[in-house]
Structure 1
Amino acid sequence: MKSLKHLIIVLFLINMSCQNRTSKDEATSPSVTEIRNDIERVEPPHWWVGFKNENLQLLVKHPNIGSATPKISYAGIRLKEFHEADSPNYLFLDLEVANSAKAGKFNIAFQLEDDSELIQTYELKARGKAAEDYVGFDSSDAIYLITPDRFSNANPNNDEIDGLLEQGIDRTDGYARHGGDLQGITNHLDYIEDLGFTAVWPSPVLTNDMPTGSYHGYAMTDFYEVDPRFGTFEEYQKLAEDLRARNMKLIMDQVANHCGLYHWWMQDLPFKDWINDQENYEQNKDEWDWKTTNTSNHRRTTNQDPYASNKDYLEMADGWFVSDMPDLNQRNPFMANYIIQNSIWWIETLQLGGIRQDTYPYPDKTFMSHWAGAVMTEYPNFTIVGEEWSYNPLLIGYWQEGHMNQDEYKSNLKSTMDFAMQKNIVDALNEEESWDKGLVKMYEGLANDFAYTSPKDIMVLPDNHDMSRIFTQLNGDVVNTKMALSYLLMLPRIPQLYYGTEILMDDFDNPGDHGLIRTDFPGGWNGDAVNAFTGEGLKDEQKDMQFFLKTLLNYRKHSKAIHNGNTLHFAPDEGTYVLARITDEETVVHILNKNESPQELDLSRFEELELDGKMLRNIISDDRIHWGNSLKLNARGSVILTTKLQN
């Protein structure tokens, strides 16, 4: 009897041991008994299982790590090869992460020349959702662009961080830090959602440890770190989570072209060609300024120009954007991998709804095609918009996926920016009306859509963080501003508006000044006399513009005719211009009128809209109108009508 009990106990212990071993094997295979972080820096800091591309390249930074021999023992992970850099303080590891690999932690052992060993624990994570579920922004969205430092300061305790090069807050200086942060955006998502926006694009919030001008975010000194003056990594994730909970999207502003001059690698560059013009920089870095920098000639047309000299092209592509933003050399394969993996890392980390890529035509264009292709291969329903600041539709169309380019260039880029239409709208409204001016510029600008592969996937904007506010561009004319915004929101495009447009923010004191363009949003700081979030202290015309945009954006949010309907417009005549968006279920008619005196619009001209005898509703005023022989336009401005009589 005693021996039988003993046997049962032994069998029970063996069974428990097997269960425990199976559990551990599934988690880590083999298990990590001790978490160690002996290495100064490993990037990406972690990765995921289950990508289509099973290759992963780790950048390892540590004193004299280049002579070490790395070893990995983990099921589903194969160390294919490793590469020494020109600097002895780097090692690059090429891993294969098989689809059979399971999420878990494993150790990478680095055997040094003296037979000592350094250990770094690395983690593979399970992906948060399927790749197909990463749905990017499209023509059904309306995007709210924010400069985080100037929107709302929710946490004054992170305004100054010891050890960073730029210290202090000065809200009177347009180029100093003002203290806005990520929590400030999160705290006001109710406001943004109520306005009718469906996506938020903050300018970059990664660390910019620069001596001056660090507030804007485009001179990154660490591609994997949130700037602590904007908040914590967790607060960035919280912003993304709260947006998803509202069925809204977070768009990340990324920079593949350059970094900040004080990036951590600038004092010890991995390779001799890690950045462009590197030899010149290393010889003169102790006295580096704009005089010694080979800055870009900014001739972006060399990307398309069949007659461009190689010299001009290389000066554009390889020159530094400005003297304190080193130009990254994407032709270095290790740099190329670094940038691609960084983009994918942030998509997975934040479950992004899109990427805005800064200065799109400036990096090596072959690399940019490869970068966009790598992202879109992993996330087939994702969206990337590239910044191409050009007023020429030929250049805008060149960068969009599917465009039949003479040089056979394939961009893999879904969206680019319609600065051409932005200029047409401003010029049309500022010019006096005549048969060949004014509204004709808008009409002909839209007629250029034949040049685009997919017009509705292009982003259109009235202004942004780099140009005068639309209210300033239209010389303080409220009616013209409403016409510009309503027309823009009716187009077959993805609309982006800049924070404060809804309250007529301006830069009249010094038009075009970046510090003034990026003015603090009123109410974002304790003690502000005006609070645009609540309406307290706003002028009547500001409240009216808020109401106008809120009404229009919230209607647009649910109108499939505006999102994807057929577009039909009629050439401007006698100071009026009619545009329609049409589906089987709805027709939306947008009428622009530049006449100061009452105008009788002959509706027989628009017979093909098939609206004769129908009742329509004014989206802004909610008035009903009968579509008969004519329509009286009592005042200059825009009229937006829909065949849907109920909201």
Structure 2
Amino acid sequence: MALFTSALTLPVFNCYSSQESSIDVYPPNWWVGMHDSNVELMIYGDDIADDTVTIVNSDVVLREKHALESANYLFVTLDTSKAKAGDVKLRFVDTDGSTRDISYSLQKRRDGSALRKGFGPRDAIYLIAPDRFVNGDKDNDDVEGFIDKADRSLKGGRHGGDIEGIIQHLDYIEALGFTQLWSMPLLENAMDTYSYHGYSTTDYYQIDPRYGTNEDFLMLSRAANKRGIGVIMDMVLNHIGSNHKWMEDTPSNDWINNNSKFIGTTHKRESLHDPHAIKSDIKGFSDGWFVPTMPDLNQRNPHLANYLIQNAIWWVESANLSGIRVDTYSYPDKAFLSDWTNRLISEYPNLNIVGEEWSVNPAITAYWQAGSKRHDDYDSALPSVMDFPLQAAVIKALTNEESWNSGFISIYETLATDFLYGDPNNLVIFPDNHDMSRIYTQLGHDVEKWNMAMSLLLTTRGIPQVFYGTEILMQNEGSEDHGIIRSDFPGGWPSDSKKNAFTGEGLTTDERWAQQRIKQLLQLRKTHPLQFEGSLKHYAPTDGVYTFFREPISTPEGKKNSKVNAPTPNETRGDKIMVILNKEPVDIPLTTYDEMLSSHKTLTRVSDGKSYKTTDTISLPAMSATVYIAH
């Protein structure tokens, strides 16, 4: 995986004025040499809307100026196509003749930035709730001016985890075998309560100080990249937190849906696809708010749309991101989503972006992925979608009895609908996430079922994402509360003396085994990347046995596939990965799989290195998941 490890410096915006009033500018800096040479600045300052604007000292061209309903916002579009890196001086002249100047920084892009490699099927993603992982800096637990203070006794309160804690334990993440890091949102959430989850943004350009600083986030990116770990940023386009300053001074009357008054969303995502739907149902889904503290943004406003698009680009460019996860992807305006995603992909053609569409209907999730066959001419550029249908199918398969229409057939039937997707191997698959019960709890705290689920999800098609603590069987028995689901990672606080998952101290035998099993499966992904970029072939389940293979990807000579990495000297193109899940004790003649194994002579069992001939009969105990390498 190609990562850029050159030094990163956070752009610093300096504004100055001939008066004592300040001016804020968003985005706080920009770059020359972007695919789109225009950048629209949101200028915020007292009574600035009626000011005239001139550029004093640059080749930058002022293209447009727009004032909306608020007297304190002005939108200025700059054309940087002929500009060189450096500071641009903008002068604002009020109607009374007074002037205010700002210095705006245009920077040179990092070499290779546009062609950065996004996360892909070779990767495995570790998802972290940053407040609940590690408290690396106790000095930022409480910050002056922020009402929500640290209190580990509150399940919905802040517990003190931060960016520094993640940096300090990147070695643990690397040792497990993960190659991508996705953190729940780290941006400022200056909410009175329940601010730790991060999904109520109050400043799109600042890291929440209880997690650290913008520079800390860049330090995390640098440190992760040095270990071969990419950073995926969680972005929220649909809504803000009610304490965002836009709610005190809204740039325009249509900035917030429903006239800035709470009307709850219907959550009826099907209305976007229903040929019988009425317009009010579509509006009720897209324009409704999640809760009163999450005002719903109106992305039909072109200036708000530009703000969100440029913010995403700014973070990719500044923090050297390898990808973006978009929260509640289908809820914002549908046309805006197309524009947002196309703009990102035009700047970064190989960047991966995964959208959260929480539907267990493959036809609904597939709709949003680029290249999918859909019922209309919608232009979706979204490379990836969270595969909720497969997650639900895995739970059904392992909790239902085997019969002709239940059990493993749930997985088989779900994967059989992959023809709906533009690129099923680029879907993000997962056993659980931060919004649902942990996989160990969903499976009744059964270690064997956990092993079957994890063995499947770390070897089948797609890009696996694992929630922190899944590797040590973290659970939420007796509670569906998200604060319990997102419990503190043992060992992340100095007071965690009895149990420490980083050192292994205090872990049960099952927890230690599960941690090693994750390492084992992720190591297999690293040693056989071509197989995980390749095709999935599976046999229809029979008598409680489900078997599938991963074949190495092949590129015809003389042709190039930009999505496929070149093989390394240690990669074996001919090997196949074979996985057998079975619920009852079984003896299986390996000749059963001649169609897949005819060109192979031996199998090596991954768990212990034991070898078999492809003519042998293998005996498997009940409730087992066995992974082999076919040579």
| TM-score of the two chains, using structure 2 as the length reference | 0.92
**Secondary structure of the residue that 1:484 maps to in structure 2?**
helix
Query: Within the alignment, does 1:87 sit opposite 2:55 as a pair?
Result: no
| Equivalent residue in structure 2 for 1:114, among 96, 114, 135 | 96
Q: Percent identity?
A: 44
> Would the aligned equivalents of 1:63 and 1:88 in 2 still touch at CA under 8 Å?
yes
For 1:366, give the aligned amino acid: A
Cα distance in 2, alignment partners of residues 613 and 242 from structure 1: 42
Q: Does 1:423 align with 2:392?
A: yes
Aligned residue in 2 for 1:276: 257
User: Match for 2:45 among 45, 59, 62?
Assistant: 62
Residues 378-416 of structure 1: CA deviation (Å, up to 9, x unaligned): 100101000000000001110000123221112110000
Q: Which has the higher helix share?
A: 1
Cα shift readout 1:98-127 (whole Å, capped 9, x = no counterpart)? 1x3111112111111111111111101111
Q: Which position in structure 2 is the counterpart of 1:474?
A: 443
The 2-side partners of 1:373 and 1:518 are apart by 33
* Counterparts in 2 of 1:353 and 1:140: CA distance versus 1, 3 Å: same
Correspondence for 2:589: 602
Q: Deviations over 1:46-87 (max 9, x none)?
A: 111101111111111111111111110343300112111201
Distance in 2 of aligned mates of 1:33 and 1:337: 22
Distance apart, 1:425 and its partner CA? 0.5
Contact kept, 8 Å, 1:39 with 1:119, in 2: the verdict is no
**More off after superposition, 239-248 vs 194-203:** 239-248
Distance change (3 Å), C-alpha of 1:368 and 1:33: closer
Contact 1:551 1:620 in 2 (8 A): yes
CA contact (8 A) 1:613 1:628 kept: no
Q: Which residue does 2:34 correspond to in 1?
A: 51
Structure 2 counterpart of 1:121, one-letter code: S
Shift of 1:548: 0.5
One-letter amino acid of the structure 1 residue matched with residue 152 of structure 2: R
Indicate which of 226, 229, 232 corresponds to 1:251. 232
Q: Please identify, of 456-465 and 551-560, the stretch whose mean Cα deviation from structure 2 is larger.
A: 551-560
AA aligned opposite 1:390: S
Q: For the residues of structure 2 that align with 1:33 and 1:527, how far apart are their CA atoms?
A: 44
SS in 2 for 1:137: coil
Q: CA deviation at 1:557?
A: 1.8
Q: Is the 8 A contact 2:16 2:22 kept in 1?
A: no
Q: Which runs of 5+ in 1 are unaligned?
A: 1-31, 282-292
Checking the alignment, whether the CA contact within 8 Å between 2:115 and 2:349 is kept in structure 1 is no
AA of the residue aligned to 1:527? S
1:227 offset after TM fit, Å? Answer: 0.4
Question: SS of the residue aligned with 1:215?
Answer: coil
Work out whether 1:382 is the aligned partner of 2:364: no
> Does the 8 A contact of 2:56 with 2:91 survive in 1?
no
Q: 1:119 to 1:589 in 2, by over 3 A?
A: same
Q: Residue type matched to 2:200 in 1?
A: A
> C-alpha displacement at 1:310, in angstroms?
0.2
Larger Rg: 1
TM-score by length of 1: 0.90
**RMSD value, Cα:** 1.6
- The amino acid across from 1:177 in the alignment is R
Structure 2 equivalent of residue 519 of structure 1: 487
Report the AA paired with residue 134 of structure 2.
Answer: S
Q: Summarize the Cα distance change of 1:625–1:488 in structure 2 as closer, same or farther, 3 Å threshold.
A: same
2:559 is matched with none
| Equivalent position of 1:585 in the other structure | 574
Mapped partners of 1:636, 1:433: distance in 2:
12
Separation in structure 2 between the aligned mates of residue 127 and residue 216 of structure 1, nearest angstrom: 32
Q: Which runs of 5+ in 2 are unaligned?
A: 1-13, 553-572
* Aligned position for 1:406: 375
Contact between 1:131 and 1:380, CA under 8 Å: does it hold in 2? Answer: no
Structure 2 residue corresponding to 1:318, chosen from 287, 294, 297: 287
Matches of 2:574 and 2:153, distance apart in 1: 52
- Cα distance in 2, alignment partners of residues 33 and 426 from structure 1: 54
Distance 2:88 2:421 in 1: 49
Secondary structure of the structure 1 residue equivalent to 2:523: helix
CA contact (8 A) 2:441 2:476 kept: yes
- Whichever residue aligns with residue 303 of structure 2, its letter is F
Count of residues in correspondence between the two structures: 596
> Does structure 2 retain, via aligned residues, the 8 Å contact 1:38–1:119?
no
Aligned pair 1:206/2:187, yes or no?
A: yes
Q: Distance in 2 between matches of 1:609 and 1:157?
A: 58
Distance 1:434 1:33 in 2: 69
- Partners of 1:578 and 1:84 lie apart in 2 by 62
Mapped partners of 1:309, 1:33: distance in 2: 49
Is this contact kept in 1: 2:360–2:388, CA < 8 A? yes
1:350-396 CA-partner distances (Å, limit 9, x unpaired): 01000000000100011001000000001001010000000000011
Alpha-carbon offset, residue 434 of structure 1: 1.9
State the match for 2:323 in structure 1.
354
Task: Describe how 1:566-585 pairs up with structure 2 within 5 A.
Answer: 566-583=535-552, 584-585=573-574
Distance 1:56 1:464 in 2: 36
1:97 aligns with 2:97: no
Q: Give the Å deviation of 1:443.
A: 1.4
Aligned twin of 1:182: 163
User: What is the Cα deviation at residue 622 of structure 1?
Assistant: 1.7
Q: 1:613 to 1:39 in 2, by over 3 A?
A: closer
Of 501, 508, 514, the residue aligned with 1:539 is: 508
Relative to 1, partners in 2 of residues 1:305 and 1:599: Cα closer, same or farther, differing over 3 Å? same
1:408-452 Cα shifts (integer Å, max 9, x gaps) = 112110000110000100110111122321111111111111221
Give the Cα separation in 2 of the matches to 1:277 and 1:553: 47
Could you give the per-residue CA deviations for residues 140-196 of structure 1, whole angstroms, max 9, x where no partner exists? Answer: 100000000000000111000011122x22212110000000011111000001101
Name the aligned partner's letter for residue 269 of structure 2.
R
Q: Which amino acid aligns with 1:48?
A: W
